[in-house]
Amino acid sequence: MKATIEKIIRGGGEILLRHFGKTTSGDDKQWKGDTESDADRETERYLVTALQRAFPGDAILTEEHPTFTESKNGRLWIVDSLDGSRNFIKHIPFFGISIALAEGDRVTFGMVYLPLQQELFWAVKGSGAFLNGEKITVNREEQIENTVVPFMPHYYHADRKHVLHISEQMIKNGIWQFNPGFIVVPLCYTACGRFDGAITLGVSVWDVAGGNIIVEEAGGTVTDSGGKTWSWRSDLQDIIAANPILHEKIMQKIIR
């Protein structure tokens, strides 16, 4: 399965690279505050068609088509054909593709591809997480001060008071915060130890499903803002990801 998804996701990356630097505008999506471009639509059509051919009978959930019918086998592909749409349209070189597989209530596989960086992250439940074939793990940072933790609230869906509270607490505790414009990189970079953690509020399941399992399989902890195990079935996602020790400190000092 991994080889099949890798071929599919790399094909999607080729489509995005053909469009990158040429797309200058996008349409408002049904999810207020997001945008959609021709590159987004073309890539999604390719990914959906390829998945349907490779895995007939499986259901597919995408950002552009967020409704689906449960499959008889209980398998669901969760696809984000272009995470970082605004970056893409603005010619900012940070965007990616995410594909995850949910079986029943659990996500069991995730793959994220960053075509410009040529970085392929993936994880299989119980088998670890990998970057370009090398096994990865979260870092061992234990002190919260001077950590690098991207903070990515969706400014239309997230609770404004909660956003301001978290931002203020991050400043007070000396955390380096920034918003890179999409969530897949902070999650994957947390998984391989480049970032110390990631916080996002009010995003959708296609934004985080692939990255979340990669963090978990890299030894990290991923919960919602209440400290509960995240579920792909939630309409909007609040995600806190970090190594287990730092995650607990973030929850205590930043979130609550």
Query: Which pLDDT value is given to residue 30?
Result: 44
Stretch 223-242: mean pLDDT: 92
| Least-confidence region, from 8-22, 27-41, 116-130 | 27-41
pLDDT at 154: 83
Return d(Cα 89, Cα 78) in angstroms, integer.
23
| pLDDT beyond 50 at 34 | no
The mean of the pLDDT values for the chain is 91
Q: Which two tokens stand for residue 36?
A: 């959609």
Beta bridge partners, 82, equal none
Question: Would the pLDDT of 245 be above 90?
Answer: yes
* 86 has a pLDDT exceeding 70: yes
CA distances from 148 to 50, 231, 247, 255 (A): 37, 25, 13, 16
Say what the pLDDT of residue 200 is: 94
Q: What is the DSSP string of 140-167?
A: -----TT-B--EEE-TTTS-HHHHHHHH
Kindly indicate the confidence band of residue 33, based on its pLDDT and cuts at 50, 70 and 90. Answer: very low
- Tokens 């955390």 sit on residue: 175
Q: pLDDT, tens digit, for every residue of 159-215? A: 888 999 999 999 999 999 888 888 999 999 999 999 999 999 999 999 999 999 999
> Per the confidence metrics, is the pTM higher than 0.85?
yes
Strands (E), 75-179: 75-83, 96-103, 106-114, 119-124, 129-131, 134-136, 151-153
Q: Where does the pLDDT of residue 70 fall: very low under 50, low under 70, confident under 90, or very high at 90 and above?
A: confident
User: Per-residue pLDDT for 26 more than 60?
Assistant: no
Residue 126 has pLDDT above 60, yes or no: yes
Work out the percent of the chain whose per-residue pLDDT is above 90: 78
Q: Is the predicted pLDDT of residue 68 greater than 50, yes or no?
A: yes
Q: What is the fold, at CATH topology level, of the domain defined by 151-255?
A: D-Maltodextrin-Binding Protein; domain 2 (3.40.190)
Segment 235-251 shows an average pLDDT of 94
Upper half-sphere CA count for residue 185 (Cβ side, 13 Å): 22
Domains in the chain: boundaries: 2-135, 151-255
pLDDT per residue over 98-120, tens digit each?
A: 999 999 999 999 999 999 999 99
pLDDT of 156 higher than 80? no
pLDDT at 44: 95
pLDDT of residue 159: 81
Domain 2-135 sits in CATH 3.30.540.10:
yes
